[in-house]
Every structure is written in C-alpha cells, then in structure tokens.
Amino acid sequence: MPFRTFEDKIAFVTGATSGIGRGVALAFAREGATVIGCGRNITRGAETQRLVEAEGGTFLFLPMDLGDETQVTGGVRTALDRYGRLDCAANCAGVDRSAGFLDYTAADFDCIFDANVRGLFLCLHEEVLAMRSGGGGAIVNVGSVAGQRPFRGNSLYNASRSAVTMLTRSVAAECAEWGIRINEVSPGPVLTPMLTGHLESTAQTDAPMTAESLAAGLPLGGILSPQGIADSVLFLCSLQASKITGATLVADGGFVLG
C-alpha cells in the first residue's frame, strides 16, 4: 500500500457538507485520516459521508451550527470521546451576503460575523483545548483574499475575513508553546456553491460576472477547485510544514496580483 500522509490521524473539518470543506474532508480521508465532518445540512453531510466511504475512507458526520456554542463544544468533545484525540482541524465553514454598504442591516452583520468570526473562535477554542491535552496538533483556518483586498458590495464579508487573519496569527502566537500550529489558507475564486450564488446575484446588475470572466482575470488561468484548496490545507497540516505557524498561504491563482 502506498504511503499516506495522514494514516491513523484524526481530522476535524467544519463546513464539510459542501464546497471547500467537503473537498478537505475527502482529501484527508484519501490520505488515511479518520475524518469528523461538521455542518448544518444533514442531507449534504450524508452525501459527503457517502463520497468518503465510496473511496474506502472513514467519516463521521456531526450536525453542527457554528452559532450554537453548545453544539460546537459538543462536536469536538464527541470526537474526543470516540477517538481519544484530535491531530488536525480545518475550519472551512463560512457565509457571505453581498450588498452595497448602505443596504446592509444589523441582522446581516450578525449573520456574517456570527459564522465567520464568532463561530471560528468557538471552534478554535475547543480544538486548542483538545490538542493541548493531546500534546499538540495542526489547525488551518480557511479565510479569503477578500480579507486582504477590498471588494465592492462585500464590505462585511471583507471585514470578517480580515478578522480571520488576525485571529489566526494571534492564537498561533499563544499556542506554539503547546506544540499547536495554526495557519490560514486564503483562497481566491473557488468553484463552490457560495461563488455560484454570488455570480447569480450579479446577473441582473450593470456589471454581471461569470465563471469565465473570473477565470480570464487569473494570471495562472482557471478558477480554483475545492481540491486545489484542500491540497494547501493538507500541506499546512503535514510534517512538511512543521515549522510554519501564524502564516497565511494565499492560494488564488494570482488573483490578488491583478
């Protein structure tokens, strides 16, 4: 049997019901990890489980709403109770609501920051506790280049993704002494349901966007796939990245260079 990077490792993945999170869950399983995948949509979670098991992987789906502290705490503790430790975690869940700044409401702010910042904090808190007691581990937060470069009609999403970067760096600085590495992958345009919804929202505007027009603007050509982002996540969780912490790996096909 060929060597698999995460053989016998336990990996915890949020947002595993679609898009990047599903891609990360599949990638960990292909590399030998037992994967605990979380998300709100039970039907999509069952589909991720089917895809993983079809390739011979091991997957446990836990329904989880990142806005619910009890569910987040319970999810990580369920993983510990069942498997005894947590070696890797990938926080991939996130939401986006596009609008002009004056069209946003306080409810929009709460929705975006609850998922992208508060939910991430809750996950990180429990993951760090689990890894500290287990002697270390690696965590990757999936952010966005929207946290580095402002985009019109996305001010709240942009701000929430900037918060991901600073939270990653700050927590990494505190946790290094426990053997816990925490990094960020910052994707550009990735072909996911979130991007598809954003493109559809521009269809009736004066500046419609399509997957083709986005791809044409990428120096390396082609919109990224969830698998491409998963490769970056797994690298940062691997021993090859054992001296990397508090870093942001931009995986965007050169998008921010344009």
Catalytic-role residue among 59, 61, 157, 255: 157
- Verify that 94 and 206 share a domain, yes or no: no
- Verify that 135 and 116 share a domain, yes or no: yes
In a domain, 4, yes or no: no
Distance (Å) of CA 163 to CA 2, 5, 6: 40, 31, 29
Q: What pLDDT is recorded for position 183?
A: 98
In a domain, 162, yes or no: yes
Distance CA 116, CA 73 (A): 17
- Verify that 63 and 119 share a domain, yes or no: yes
Q: What pLDDT is recorded for position 238?
A: 98
In a domain, 183, yes or no: yes
Is 157 tagged catalytic?
A: yes
- Verify that 64 and 137 share a domain, yes or no: yes
The DSSP H or E segment spanning 177 is none
- Verify that 147 and 33 share a domain, yes or no: yes
Distance CA 39, CA 252 (A): 25
CATH number of the domain where residue 134 is located: 3.40.50.720
- Residues whose CB is less than 8 angstroms from the CB of residue 18 and which lie 6 or more positions away in sequence, other chains included: 39, 41, 44, 48, 192, 193
Question: Which runs of consecutive H residues, i.e. helices, occur in the chain?
Answer: 19-30, 42-54, 69-83, 106-113, 119-134, 155-175, 193-201, 211-216, 226-237
Give 44-87 pLDDT, tens digit per residue: 999 999 999 999 999 999 999 988 999 999 999 999 999 999 99
Give 95-153 pLDDT, tens digit per residue: 988 889 999 999 999 999 999 999 999 999 999 999 999 999 999 999 999 888 888 88
Q: What pLDDT is recorded for position 124?
A: 97
Q: Torsions phi, psi of 219, nearest 5?
A: -55, -35
In a domain, 170, yes or no: yes
- Verify that 60 and 129 share a domain, yes or no: yes
Q: What pLDDT is recorded for position 205?
A: 65
- Verify that 146 and 51 share a domain, yes or no: yes
In a domain, 1, yes or no: no
Give 13-29 pLDDT, tens digit per residue: 999 999 999 999 999 99
- Verify that 125 and 104 share a domain, yes or no: yes
Domain containing 208 equals: 194-223
Number of domains in the chain: 2
Give this prediction's pTM: 0.92
- Verify that 84 and 55 share a domain, yes or no: yes
- Verify that 59 and 152 share a domain, yes or no: yes
Give 199-250 pLDDT, tens digit per residue: 666 666 666 677 777 777 778 877 888 999 999 999 999 999 999 999 999 9
- Verify that 23 and 106 share a domain, yes or no: yes
In a domain, 5, yes or no: no
In a domain, 3, yes or no: no
In a domain, 2, yes or no: no
- Verify that 97 and 210 share a domain, yes or no: no
